[in-house]
Amino acid sequence: GEMTVGETAKLLHKDASEVIKKLILMGVMATINQELDIDTIQLLAGEFGVEVEVKIPVEEDRFETVEENDAEEDLVSRPPVVTIMGHVDHGKTTLLDAIRKTNVTGGEAGGITQHIGAYQVEINHKKITFLDTPGHEAFTAMRARGAQVTDMTIIVVAADDGVMPQTVEAINHAKAAGLPIIVAVNKIDKPGADPDRVKQELTNYELVPEEWGGDTIFVNVSAKQRIGLEELLEMILLVAEVNEYKANPNKRARGTVIEAELDKSRGPVARILVQHGTLHVGDAFVAGNCFGRIRVMVSDKGRRLKEAGPSTPVEITGLTEVPGAGDPFMVFEDERKARSIADKRAITQRQSELNTNSRVTLDDLFKHIKDGEIKDLNVIIKGDVQGSVEALKSSLAKIEVEGVRVKIIHSGAGAITESDITLAAASNAIVIGFNVRPDAQTKAAAEQEKVDVRLHNIIYNVIEEIEQAMKGMLDPVF
Ligand code: GDP
């Protein structure tokens, strides 16, 4: 990754003497054969008014260019990773706790349950991994950071309450991620429970049970009375079997940080999900911009592990700093390599924070279309009343310019929320507010995530703006 002063001068089309002069002005005493690090090269280029793009050699950059080129015979089936979502108070936490306690098989009984961000249960000698943070906000926030940790979503709907706004949000977040959905109709023990009404309501969201000709699996459960849990787990295994989730356990581990914190006595602690390969105590690794060496690895049952294979959640210590939730995790051959990759990642992160053109906005939409980068314009619509939201939805669905169409990934009546912004960021969508505005916090989130939020109060204007943007005829706004 490093270059000498002479090589840098050549790259910048300058004389070495000019470069050395500039370096001295920057406080770096340099000779022509001296090696410069990437930071210095970038600073230097900036001084000359030149922008250099740091391209990390592919061999070292397996983080970003994650391509699975495992041979079919190296892949073995791995446990599915499941997230639970649904409306508040419909029983997500209770269900997660109840499922955790169904784990009575095997010799693991007696272990002290640890909260490590995810846990595993075993049924019919097969394992299932559950992410322990219920709700679509956490899930979509991870996705917005590029992390794909889940295979499947359980949407929990209380049978006495039915489909509620956050149920719809959860469905749309799961769909935007392209995940299979299983519906758990919860609280069937309650007197007012009406599971059939839930099924009926969900047909409006293309979740149609098998007995009505659809292909969505519904399971009636009571998280509180522990009814139907085994059936739910069996259905998860069924979906897993159909989708054939596999990984190669015989390579260096790679995964995602689920959560991390600074522990008073143990230092930085990260809870990670191993997704590929096998992680071993002593492995040198990078998590986000941090690096380290696995000192202690603990399972969700509080047991010390020597190694952990695909779909296993573990808590690790041995980090130099605290990484972020959703950060990629990867093992390298030695600590030196890990440190240099972590440094490079810090630089590329700084660059991408400066780089605003990866998210779609209406202003640069046409360019993205021309470059063949997008086939659908993903849109989230929030409006003051359901009627205008529906009117907008049907008008926008009719727009088609040069094969590009508008795809409504989420809509609803109500203010624009931070969850809408996160979904937009994760799905490269724009947000349209009709007679509604984002509050200050949401506005700040949109600015930070570079999500384009358009506010209108006339339907015609929305349609015109989108059409013009798709044709590259939008007047620039100053
Ligand atoms: P969350 O907000 O979706 O995580 O919901 P919680 O798990 O916190 O549950 C909300 C309330 O519903 C709590 O008082 C639970 O005890 C109750 N609850 C959850 N599941 C059931 C169930 O199957 N039957 C009954 N009767 N109550 C339940």
Q: How does pLDDT run across 52-109, given as a tens digit for each residue?
A: 666 554 444 444 444 457 888 899 999 999 999 999 999 999 999 999 988 655 445 5
Q: Which residues belong to the annotated binding site?
A: 86-93, 132-136, 186-189
Closest atom of ligand 1 to 90 CA is 3
CA distance 50 to 44: 9
Q: Pick from 391, 389, 452, 462: which is nearest to 421 by CA?
A: 452
Q: How far is the CA of 186 from the centre of ligand 1 (A)?
A: 8
Which protein residue's CA is at the shortest distance from atom 18 of ligand 1? 91
CA distance 118 to 150: 11
Q: Pick from 16, 146, 142, 157: which is nearest to 84 by CA?
A: 157
Q: 174: phi > 0 → left, psi -120 to 50 → alpha, else beta; which?
A: alpha
Cα-flanking dihedrals φ and ψ of residue 93, to 5°? Answer: -65, -40
Which residue type sits at 180? P
| Residue appearing with tokens 């979904």 | 423
| Ligand 1 site, CB within 6 A | 86, 88-94, 134, 186-187, 189-190, 222-224
Distances (CA, A) of 22 to 3, 26, 215, 218: 16, 6, 67, 68
Distances (CA, A) of 121 to 89, 113, 249, 253: 24, 12, 20, 22
Which range, of 27-41, 161-175, 254-268, 455-469, averages the lowest pLDDT?
A: 27-41
* Residues present in the chain in total: 478
Q: H-helix or E-strand containing 247?
A: strand 246-247
Which protein residue's CA is at the shortest distance from atom 25 of ligand 1? 187
| Residue appearing with tokens 């001295």 | 24
Which range, of 106-115, 135-144, 190-199, 440-449, averages the lowest pLDDT?
A: 106-115
Which is more confident, 133 or 80? 80
State the burial class of residue 244 (Cβ atoms within 10 Å of its Cβ: 0-12, 13-18, 19+). exposed
Q: How far is the CA of 316 from the centre of ligand 1 (A)?
A: 32
Q: How far is the CA of 91 from the centre of ligand 1 (A)?
A: 4
Closest atom of ligand 1 to 97 CA is 7
Q: How many CB atoms lie within 10 A of CB 424?
A: 30
Closest atom of ligand 1 to 134 CA is 4
Q: Pick from 404, 465, 475: which is nearest to 431 by CA?
A: 465
Mean pLDDT of the chain: 87
Please name the residues in contact with 198: beta carbons below 8 A apart, sequence gap of 6 or more.
Answer: 157, 159, 162, 163, 183, 185
DSSP 56-114: --GGG-TTTS------GGG-EE---EEEEEESTTSSHHHHHHHHHHT---GGGTTPPP-
- Ligand 1, from 85, 88, 89: best to mutate by most atoms within 8 Å of Cβ? 89
CA distance 241 to 222: 25
- Ligand 1, from 189, 224, 227: best to mutate by most atoms within 8 Å of Cβ? 224
Q: How far is the CA of 90 from the centre of ligand 1 (A)?
A: 6
- Ligand 1, from 94, 133, 160, 232: best to mutate by most atoms within 8 Å of Cβ? 94
Closest atom of ligand 1 to 186 CA is 23
Angle in degrees, CA 403, 409, 415, rounded to 5: 130
Residue 478 — pLDDT band, cuts 50, 70, 90?
Answer: very low
Which protein residue's CA is at the shortest distance from atom 2 of ligand 1? 89
In Å, the largest CA–CA distance within the chain is: 85
Closest atom of ligand 1 to 221 CA is 23
Q: Averaged over 253-280, what is the pLDDT?
A: 94
Q: How far is the CA of 152 from the centre of ligand 1 (A)?
A: 22
Q: What is the pTM of this model?
A: 0.77
Interface predicted TM-score (ipTM) over 0.95: yes
Q: How far is the CA of 181 from the centre of ligand 1 (A)?
A: 20
Q: Which tokens belong to 437?
A: 């505005």
3-state secondary structure of 301: coil
Residue 449 — pLDDT band, cuts 50, 70, 90?
Answer: confident
Q: Which tokens belong to 235?
A: 């259905």
